[in-house]
Homo-oligomer: A and B are copies of this chain.
Amino acid sequence: MSSVERQLEDLKAEITDEVPDDISISDVRYEGPELVVYTRHPKKFAQDGDLIRRLASKLRKRITVRPDPDVLSRPSEARAEIEEVIPEEAGVTDLDFHADTGEVVIEAAKPGMVIGRHGSTLREITKRVGWTPEVVRTPPIESSTVSNVRNFLKQEREERRDILERIGRQIHRRQMADEQWVRITTLGCCREVGRAAFVLSTADTRILIDCGDKPGAEGEVPYLQVPEALGAGASNLDAVVLTHAHLDHSALIPLLFKYGYDGPIYCTEPTRDLMGLLTLDYLDVAAKEGRAPPYESEMVREAIKHCIPIEYGDVTDIAPDVKLTFHNAGHILGSAVSHFHIGDGLYNVAFSGDIHYDDTRLFNGAVNEFPRVETLVMESTYGGRNDYQTDQEDAERQLVNVINEAHEKGGKVLIPAFAVGRSQEIMLVLEEAMRKGKIPEMPVHLDGMIWEATAIHTTYPEYLRDDLRDRIFHDDENPFLADYFNHIDGGEEERQEVADGEQAIVLSTSGMVTGGPIMSWLRHVGSDPDSTMVFVGYQAQGTLGRRIQNGWDEIPINDRNGGGRSNTMTMKMDVKTVDGFSGHADRQGLMNFVRTMNPRPEKVLCVHGDEKSTQDLSSALYHEFNMRTFAPKNLETFRFK
């Protein structure tokens, strides 16, 4: 009997001991980080509202109770009973029965009403039908990404169970090493922005944190081939943690599966979906640009299949000696400051991922309170001495002014924007400004992946800023459903119509004018001197966006039929830039994050910034807070304990 088998036997005995005699426990298994308890008496289990909580706290495990398949009522009967229990206002849109696990997935517009006060409605469901309800939100805006991911996971349910069981056994294996230490190896993202990848290792466990690409620097991938990472074989890694879905953190996650990795990806649920969206687009772009993609779309599916979603604040065992907790990072939807508790009080490390310290319209500011933390690995994008940005209020005022000016000229307003995050921020600003009469009401056309990304945002309102979340919960106040917004889904024809039509604002990808529908919009309105182009995000060196910002007016434009012939368009639009809508904390925000951090860490590694930014920030933190700070290079290893 393996040590895990023995452990499970012991747990089963303990649980049997703890529950009333009339509840029989038929099986106890690991599924990922959770302990799943099968019972022939799910209804009785559900009657005692506190039993699961008591068990969880006694065993110090996350516990899920499932009915033994033998005792489930027939789905057709169960469906009728469930529909009776759930109030109509909950807006159930789908019921999906999984006989293998005894779960019924309930998709509803208002999950809270399916759950009931303190889970009372859920317990009522189980009491009546035996099935264990699992609730997901009906996306208020239909998202093909979300429904594709959900359908895919439904279809792969069996394999996924096997994966989760294997991972569960891995997590709960016995600790072998008799020594204890904690190390971080930098595989990318040091003294540079891009290709984020770190290995957090102990004597027992190796965890990869992020695995991104480096935008604009093809071939500069993380140093995955060193022995600390995959050089010792993919099985050398126990887990992968993804802080957020931006490609500089996620692009090469699917590649791990091509290299034989077969373990879990821990991330939030929105990060999983956005990673799916962005990595598939990444492959698309590579194909369009004639580059060999580093992996096939099949690997994206593998990655999604291996995702274990974790919510903010949930303490999760991800290895025998490592507990992971995610906290809101304020950067993009689902972005997480990742806190690792190692050993039994041995050490604590927090990886900031990308953060925004102050509240924005979309998100609460990054969390910086932890039970304990000795070392912080911190982004430094705007860590340079002079990297102060316009604050959000000023930025919004400027945007309002720019749009009013543009409107007076009578033309269109063209805003290149990243699909994820900044587009939604701008949408919220525009919606409010129109609603409050600060700018004229006019259509806002959303092109590229913006609509889809917005749909994903509205699927996960619990990840948005609290007041925004409350508004989305009430359909009539959901700002993303405002009438101003139009999804460009009619292709070139619709664009032509818009271009020929009334005054309007167009938000379109790509954010740095390096491809995508923005190129088409340039063809339509670029030579119109009455129209205005407004940059709201950073334009990297070498991009067309940066060139336009710098005043270039001879724009190479492919023929609209994509025939490959390339013409030159003379840019006649007004060009404006509004700073201050970054998803990253500026120098002040980074300093404040550390200043108010509780507890304050002993050491900070400044990463995810160019050489100057990381060194400036490292030195400033050292001088201001007298902590040990570093600006690591790639391929270094730091020992903490």
Contacts and interface: CB of A to CB of B under 8 A. Distances in A.
Interface of A: 177, 181, 183, 185, 201, 203, 206, 225-228, 231-233, 236, 633-639
A525 to B, nearest CB: 44
Contact of A232 (B203, B236, B635): B236
A374 to B, nearest CB: 15
**How many copies make up the complex?**
2
A252 to B, nearest CB: 16
Nearest to A190: B639
Contact of A233 (B181, B183, B232): B232
A159 to B, nearest CB: 29
Nearest to A206: B227
15 contacts: A177-B225, A181-B635, A183-B636, A201-B226, A206-B227, A226-B228, A227-B227, A227-B232, A228-B228, A231-B236, A232-B233, A232-B236, A634-B639, A635-B639, A636-B638
A636 B633 contact: no
Given A633-B639, A635-B639, 8 more contacts: A181-B635, A203-B225, A227-B231, A228-B228, A634-B639, A636-B636, A636-B638, A636-B639
A227 B231 CA distance: 8
A227 B225 CA distance: 12
Contacts of A227: 206, 227-228, 231-232, 236
Contacts of A203: 225
Nearest to A203: B225
A375 to B, nearest CB: 14
A408 B284 CA distance: 95
Contact of A637 (B185, B206, B232): B185
A201 B185 CA distance: 14
Nearest to A632: B639
A578 to B, nearest CB: 40
A511 to B, nearest CB: 30
- Identify the 4 closest CB pairs spanning chains A and B, nearest first: A232-B232, A637-B637, A227-B227, A227-B232
B231 A183 contact: no
Q: Which of A183, A633, A634, A639 has most B Cβ within 10 Å? A: A639
Contacts of A177: 225
A607 to B, nearest CB: 14
Nearest to A638: B636
A635 B183 contact: yes
A520 to B, nearest CB: 38
A120 B637 CA distance: 54
Nearest to A182: B635
Contact of A636 (B201, B232, B236, B637): B637
Nearest to A229: B227
A222 to B, nearest CB: 12
A35 to B, nearest CB: 30
A101 B46 CA distance: 83
A179 to B, nearest CB: 8
B635 A635 contact: no
Contacts of A637: 185, 228, 635-637
A346 to B, nearest CB: 14
A93 to B, nearest CB: 48
Nearest to A636: B639
Nearest to A183: B635
Contacts of A181: 635
Q: Which of A183, A226, A634 has most B Cβ within 10 Å? A: A226
A354 to B, nearest CB: 24
A635 B184 CA distance: 10
Nearest to A185: B637
A232 B227 CA distance: 6
A202 to B, nearest CB: 11
A233 B227 CA distance: 10
A638 B226 CA distance: 14
